[in-house]
Structure 1
Amino acid sequence: MSIRHVVLSDLHLGARDSLLTHVHGSGAIADGPSEVLASFANGLRETLADQEKPRLVLLGDALDLGLSPFGDVSKSFLQLLDAFYPANGPDLFDREIIYIAGNHDHHLWRIAQDNGFLSALQNGEIPGDLDAVSTIFGTPSHRCRLMESLITHRPHLRDASVKIAYPNWGLSDRGTGRAIVMHHGHYLDGMYRALSNMRAFLGDGEARPATMRQLEQENGPWIDFLWSDLGSAGEIGSEAGSLYEVMLSAGASHDFAEGIARRITGGLHSKLGINPKMPLKYGVTLDNLIRAGVDLTAGRAAERQRDGYGHVLGEAEIEDLGWYLGTPLANEMRQELADMPHELSFIFGHTHKPFQDELLVDGYDVPVGVFNTGGWVLDEPTLMPVQGCAAMLVSDELEVASLRLFNDPTDGVMAPVRVEGSGRTNHLADDAAEAVERASAHWSDFSRIVHARIGQEADKRVHQMLERSDADLREAAE
């Protein structure tokens, strides 16, 4: 059995709080991989030494376009290329990369949509509209122009390509009845279905769409507007800073939500002449609707984020996961495959909380294997117990195993890198565990380096928070 795909998510390249972004002491993006990234590549290279080069799948939020400038993100992506595809050494992965956009890099899908429409026009066609979503199975037809343009900065990779899919991509085997579907995970989170929630609030059907197309058509513009391009929004983007820091404080998240609502309603009035007090339905004004939508996302969702640091998934999150698997995803798979797969594995990220489990979902013959990748960004001054990171390994027989990379250190000790399955019989997990054990020296170095970096970031965050508190006290005294 061989590892054919390695799935990474939530790299947040370009973000200063990502463990992978290499930053000078001055705060500028540095050349070359960070120590964490270099050690991670070394561990993978040794683990995969006897394998045919697997394909790299980047499962959303690989680029931190939501909160980081395009230039910083671009330089950090080159750091990743230098680690995985060094000019003076062997490639770690196949040169065809699969990219599945998330919420912080949704703009990459919008660029792909635009390019697809323009290509059709150049071929003499006039499509009815942009492609809302891509098909799940098969090689994606869209290309990620930003990443492929960056690849040209590395001449030895001139034949490399990046194919982009959205919001899902997967693999299926009719012979075994197995399928794997990958989705970044943002549509499992109600804050990214805000416009569907508003539609239902106004009395027009169910809040949860039944198809992927409706889900994206209703909510994609909202995600692109507020969550995927703040990094290039100048002052407002820098004011947003790290949204997760804001979410740690109920007062701060309320002020943040109010500020966003004021900017939106004020801009509609001053730039477009639209009166925010205009009535829509049942006495609800446009201003009411905008404030409710922002509160449901940047406000109340912030409270759920704070409450959720102590567990992997709560009841509401499990319910949303069951809806996604059982309704829009199931409907899409029936259209593409004719029959539902006998055995499904579902890989997602977004939560920054790695886990693996099985979930009973209506419409599936057996429990769905559910795997979360966690993330590489520090959402708080220190990791919480359930936060951490994993890479997903996918075999040629469509089995999935989780390469658990790190979690919150317990009593100052970092747990070793290890391989875990979801509970079902899994030959890949056994084989991968042996490979990781053979590379244990490299992974021990990785754990040591990650532990040190987490400690450095924690000290820096605490220092920054104390400085802010002192500044607030001085301002209050004045």
Structure 2
Amino acid sequence: MAASKIKYVVISDVHFGAYNSLLTYIEEFPDPVRREDKFKVNSQKTSPALIELLACLKNIVQSVNGASNAPQFILLGDVLELALGDINEASMTFERFLEVAYKEKKPVFSDKILYIPGNHDHHLWETARERQYIDYIASLKPNQYIEDAWYTTKMVDPDFVESHLLTGILRRNAKLKKGKAVIAYPNYEIVSKKGDHSVFLSHGNYLENIYALMSTMQRILLPEIDEDKKKPKPKPNFWQRLLNLNPFQSFTVVPNSRSITVLEKENFAWIDFFWSTLGRSGKVGKGIGLLYDMLQDEKAMGKLTSNITSYIFSKIKTNMFLKSILYWPVSNTLKKIVLKVGQDERGMSDNILSEEVITNLNTYLGETIPHQWEEESKKTKRTFPKDYTFIFGHTHKPFASLSQDIGLKIQDKLIFNTGGWVVDTIEIMKSHGGSVLLIDDDANVVSFRAYMEKDTKPTFIVPDGRSNRLYETLTQKVNLTDKKFQTLTKTFEEEIRLRRQVLRVRVQE
């Protein structure tokens, strides 16, 4: 088996600038005046974990590629934290990443970065596509027809959109004066040399129902919008009209569109507002961040739901005796509901995928991606690949598996998750960890699992029984017992402990 070369380095869910990010520097103040000032993000310093991770990645790339073939970074969403942090902190922490990644005289990585936004950095896509639209309008002749804005990029033959914000950050670095960051959103395809195998990449937020909420609400509240006005409606007979009077009859919800462009067009404002801008809204944003942390702590949530219940009961005009009887049952029920929702949102389960995500992943792989592929490939002779790999992030739970082994209906597809680089919970989550995915020049994929919360020892992983040329090359040429990787393990252990201290302080605020 011939040696392989690394072409792409894929990482997601770094959340640069966030207090819970392992790759963001946290400064500790031993004797603060206020308890909440004990730990602060310092975006002008570099996280020890970031330094050691990039040292190991450079070791891997140079061991495999030698002095040539600089691979390209693919940043697969939620890399800059724009939901629960400020854009300046996220931008400066991203600069620290660039300083470490590109400090060598001869660069190890390509200065062209591909960015595929997620939900926490969706605003990067909004700013890029709006700038693109401004440039498009400026290029038109007077009175020429103006097309509608574009909501997605092509997946098959990508029409990348430059992120002037990210390119500007890159070019602040003296070694990246010709650097460039382009965006593909939300899906991207990498094709093997022979064209018989593809790798599809997407951040993965549309695998959770909440991100298509606007589509769902429209189809529940106003299903007639989706009705074909030209199609004649069948006339109900007497018995059907009688049955329609039943208020308890089952309600059929029109399923959401299988078109990713339609989904994005219907939900982009919702995603951008709630997950990419609201958390930066002054004291309101700070409150959102605190609520997010409190969702995992039963005592903190008890205080929060007690406040909500007190407010509700203060608005109800009834006698105090009845209020006192109902207060605790209502408060406790509310607490249980909010805790359940919050723990689901933070992935507080050792299952790598929820039933909801499995259901939506079946739809995404079986309908959404093929639909986009077919729409974009009408003029080509290519057929949808029978053999493909799907890579996503979002869940913060890295894995490499065959599709049927994680409960999917679709068979014999390779599924990888990049995990994440944050500590979201006070309790150890065995399924949480971070992986960097390596893709070679023939679309083979290997996961470099840098750490798991239960086991910080790094390793290379592929789905069981699915070795490939890149995996063989990596296991032969990279020594994971090297001192660099041992240092990486120790650093992650220390940084994880520190983030849990930060969380404890925030929850107790």
Q: TM-score range by the shorter chain?
A: 0.7 to 0.9
Q: Structure 2: which 5+ runs fail to align?
A: 30-39, 224-252, 312-336
TM-score by length of 2: 0.78
Moved over 4 A (4+): 253-256, 297-301, 360-364
1:216 to 2:261 alignment: no
1:462 to 2:462 alignment: no
Q: CA deviation at 1:218?
A: 0.9
Q: How far apart in 2 are the matches of 1:20 and 1:433?
A: 26
Q: 2:478 aligns with which of 436, 440, 450?
A: 436
Q: Does the residue aligned with 2:218 lie in a helix, a strand or coil? A: helix
Equivalent residues in 2 for 1:9-408, closer than 5 Å: 9-25=12-28, 27-50=40-63, 51=65, 52-86=69-103, 89-124=105-140, 126-173=145-192, 175-202=194-221, 204=223, 206-241=254-289, 244-249=292-297, 252=301, 301-305=341-345, 308-337=348-377, 338-360=382-404, 367-408=412-453
Q: How far apart in 2 are the matches of 1:175 and 1:55?
A: 21
Q: How far apart in 2 are the matches of 1:375 and 1:189?
A: 17
Q: Does the residue aligned with 2:437 lie in a helix, a strand or coil? A: strand
Q: CA deviation at 1:40?
A: 0.6
What residue number does 1:417 align with? 458
**2:137 partner letter:** L
Quick check: 2:362–2:409 contact (8 Å CA) kept in 1? no
Q: How far apart in 2 are the matches of 1:230 and 1:36?
A: 28
What residue number does 1:291 align with? none
**2:256 partner letter:** R
Distance verdict in 2 for CA 1:240–1:118, change over 3 Å = same
Quick check: 2:10–2:74 contact (8 Å CA) kept in 1? yes
**1:421 partner letter:** V
Q: CA deviation at 1:458?
A: 2.0
Quick check: 2:193–2:441 contact (8 Å CA) kept in 1? no
Distance verdict in 2 for CA 1:227–1:464, change over 3 Å = closer
Distance verdict in 2 for CA 1:128–1:299, change over 3 Å = farther
Quick check: 2:213–2:267 contact (8 Å CA) kept in 1? yes
Q: How far apart in 2 are the matches of 1:419 and 1:380?
A: 26
Q: Structure 1: which 5+ runs fail to align?
A: 263-296, 469-478
Distance verdict in 2 for CA 1:5–1:439, change over 3 Å = farther
Distance verdict in 2 for CA 1:139–1:211, change over 3 Å = closer
Distance verdict in 2 for CA 1:156–1:307, change over 3 Å = closer
Q: How far apart in 1 are the matches of 2:338 and 2:257?
A: 21
Q: CA deviation at 1:162?
A: 0.4
Q: Does the residue aligned with 2:479 lie in a helix, a strand or coil? A: helix
TM-score by length of 1: 0.82
Q: CA deviation at 1:149?
A: 1.2
Quick check: 1:253–1:298 contact (8 Å CA) kept in 2? no
Which whole-Å deviations, capped at 9, do the CAs of 1:240-262 have from their partners, x for residues lacking one? 11564233257849969x99xx9
**1:189 partner letter:** E
Quick check: 2:279–2:288 contact (8 Å CA) kept in 1? no
Q: How far apart in 2 are the matches of 1:343 and 1:328?
A: 17
Q: CA deviation at 1:383?
A: 3.4
Q: Does the residue aligned with 2:8 lie in a helix, a strand or coil? A: strand
Q: CA deviation at 1:461?
A: 2.7
Q: Does the residue aligned with 2:26 lie in a helix, a strand or coil? A: coil
Distance verdict in 2 for CA 1:434–1:417, change over 3 Å = farther
**2:23 partner letter:** L
**2:8 partner letter:** H
Q: How far apart in 2 are the matches of 1:199 and 1:169?
A: 28
Q: CA deviation at 1:239?
A: 0.7
What residue number does 1:471 align with? none
Q: CA deviation at 1:126?
A: 4.9
May I ask how many residue pairs the two structures share in their alignment?
425
**2:115 partner letter:** Y
Which whole-Å deviations, capped at 9, do the CAs of 1:396-430 have from their partners, x for residues lacking one? 11011111111123xxxx44211011232422122
Distance verdict in 2 for CA 1:389–1:362, change over 3 Å = closer
Q: CA deviation at 1:309?
A: 1.6
Q: CA deviation at 1:314?
A: 2.5
**2:87 partner letter:** F
Using CA pairs under 8 Å that are at least 6 residues apart, name the structure with larger relative contact order, 1 or 2.
Answer: 2
Q: CA deviation at 1:78?
A: 0.5
Distance verdict in 2 for CA 1:418–1:438, change over 3 Å = closer
Q: How far apart in 2 are the matches of 1:153 and 1:219?
A: 34
Quick check: 2:73–2:110 contact (8 Å CA) kept in 1? yes
Quick check: 1:172–1:178 contact (8 Å CA) kept in 2? yes
Q: Does the residue aligned with 1:309 lie in a helix, a strand or coil? A: coil
Q: How far apart in 1 are the matches of 2:27 and 2:297?
A: 29
Quick check: 2:211–2:267 contact (8 Å CA) kept in 1? yes
Aligned-pair identity (%): 27
Quick check: 2:156–2:188 contact (8 Å CA) kept in 1? yes
Distance verdict in 2 for CA 1:362–1:326, change over 3 Å = farther
Distance verdict in 2 for CA 1:346–1:244, change over 3 Å = farther
Which whole-Å deviations, capped at 9, do the CAs of 1:29-79 have from their partners, x for residues lacking one? 243421111111110111111412111000000000011111111111101
Task: Identify which range, 375-384 or 120-129, moves more after superposition.
Answer: 120-129
Q: How far apart in 2 are the matches of 1:362 and 1:190?
A: 17
